[in-house]
Amino acid sequence: MSSKVKRAIFILIFSEFLVCLGISLVIPVMPFLRNELHLSALDMGIMTSLFAFAQFVASPIVGRVSDRIGRKPVLAVGLFLYMVSEVLFALTNYLWLFDVSRLIGGLSAAMVVPTAMAFAADITTKRQRAKVIGWLSAAFSGGLILGPGIGGILAGIDYKAPFWVAGLLGLLSTIALATLLPNDKDVDLPAETAENASHTDLHGSWSDLLSKPVIILFVMILVSSFGLQGFESIYSLYVNQVFHFSLDNIALVLTLNGLTSLFMQVAMFERLVMWLNETRVIRYCFLIGFAGTIWIIFAHTKVEVIIATLFVFTAFDLLRPAITTLLTKLSSKNQGLINGLNMSLTSVGNIIGPLMSGALLDMNTHFPYAVVAVFLLVSYLFTYMIRLQHQALNE
């Protein structure tokens, strides 16, 4: 791996970490914002949905654009828009401008996250890719884990302070990327990529993606995001209602999960892929997620619930980078489009999962996790339909 490639990967990881940190800084502030400005639950829900909607619509389009014009311009504009979104949120007290800010934020996320993955896939070999994507996933998770705690501290100064800090982080990310990230044409492509396409022709056609393995993996992306959000969105409500978890209990579980997630993505993901290959990692993660969800449904003690929860969250935290790694190995072209569709389908699952779980929870406390378990089991069975030449994928 050349020095330029290493520098590019470091900047991608750093930028993704700062953006995710900025996104999660604002989480503790939302209830205060609602009370301060007398917003309804519907108002808050629309803001969240607009972010996900913009991400869903823009991700495949942006991915296609980055395939054609290059990764760095798209990343730079995306980070700049992220800064604009957060500063606008800090400046305004009007609901319609909050909504505009969330739309801009969703567009920014659609430009940054999948494009960073695509750039990493462009400049790494298939053997290096699991490690790099694991690090990018860890940066994503680490930012989301650290953000709420820092945001809570900043909110003690002023409830708008986290938005100003998030905007500053966006500005720093933009400057760092624009000045330090090598241009696409200045980074030497791996031989396996250069053999298939010139650097100015890394885009294929939509028809190139309509193979059976790719379609199955896209379905799994949708199911995994649906399952994770269906599981996570009502988790605190479920364990509080069924097992009488206190806020301290829930905080302990989420903290343990965050630490476990970082360790598995940074230290273990590449080793697991080398040992098992991506398909088996995906298969076992679906199976572990299914078993953990069933265990929670039939658990009798808090300790059982905590252990089962860690199994489920760890499975999901490994599942997403494993699917992404496998997708990026299926073609040296279309990396922007592939990662854009990945993000778009993830957004669909993020929207549908909480709606489904919330509705089912009102009917019966065990219904949401029973449905999630069924989807995970079906996905586990789907993994046996993937037939790939793993030697070719890892050359």
pLDDT of residue 70: 84
Q: Could you read off the pLDDT of 60-75 as tens digits, one per residue?
A: 888 888 888 888 999 9
Alpha-helix residue ranges (DSSP H) falling in the chain: 3-25, 30-37, 41-69, 71-91, 95-123, 126-155, 161-180, 191-194, 212-232, 235-243, 247-263, 269-276, 278-298, 302-329, 335-363, 367-382, 390-393
Verify that 112 and 65 share a domain, yes or no. Answer: yes
pLDDT of residue 333: 65
Using a 10 angstrom Cβ sphere, with 0-12 exposed, 13-18 middle and 19 or more buried, the burial of residue 385 is exposed
Verify that 180 and 213 share a domain, yes or no. Answer: no
If one counts the domains in the chain, the total is 2
Q: Could you read off the pLDDT of 225-271 as tens digits, one per residue?
A: 777 778 877 787 788 888 888 867 877 887 788 788 888 888 888 88
**Domain assignment of residue 351, given as a range:** 206-393
Does some domain include residue 38? yes
CA–CA gap between residue 345 and residue 340 (Å, rounded): 9
Verify that 56 and 178 share a domain, yes or no. Answer: yes
| 283-294 b/e (C-beta count within 10 Å ≥ 16 → b) | bbbbbbbbbbbb
Verify that 37 and 165 share a domain, yes or no. Answer: yes
Verify that 121 and 10 share a domain, yes or no. Answer: yes
Verify that 123 and 102 share a domain, yes or no. Answer: yes
Does some domain include residue 199? no
Verify that 327 and 358 share a domain, yes or no. Answer: yes
Q: How far is CA 208 from the centre of its chain?
A: 24
Verify that 294 and 371 share a domain, yes or no. Answer: yes
Verify that 76 and 190 share a domain, yes or no. Answer: yes
Q: How far is CA 15 from the centre of its chain?
A: 14
- Among 194, 225, 242, the domain boundary falls at 194
Going from the first residue of the chain to its last (395 residues), give the mean pLDDT of each consecutive group of 10, the final group possibly shorter. Answer: 81 82 72 77 74 83 85 92 91 88 88 85 80 84 76 80 87 87 69 49 51 75 79 80 82 80 85 88 93 93 92 88 80 70 77 80 87 89 70 46
Does some domain include residue 200? no
Alpha-helix residue ranges (DSSP H) falling in 277-301: 278-298
Residue 373: CA count within 13 A, CB half-sphere = 14
Verify that 86 and 120 share a domain, yes or no. Answer: yes
Nearest to 24 by CA among 117, 131, 155: 155
Q: pTM for the complete prediction?
A: 0.74
Token duo for residue 111: 């430009």
CATH number of the domain to which 67 belongs: 1.20.1250.20
CA–CA gap between residue 387 and residue 56 (Å, rounded): 29
Q: CA Rg, the chain, in Å?
A: 20
Verify that 23 and 146 share a domain, yes or no. Answer: yes
Verify that 266 and 222 share a domain, yes or no. Answer: yes
Token duo for residue 234: 């009502």
Q: How far is CA 28 from the centre of its chain?
A: 20
- Among 143, 159, 194, the domain boundary falls at 194
The single-letter code of the amino acid at 263 is F
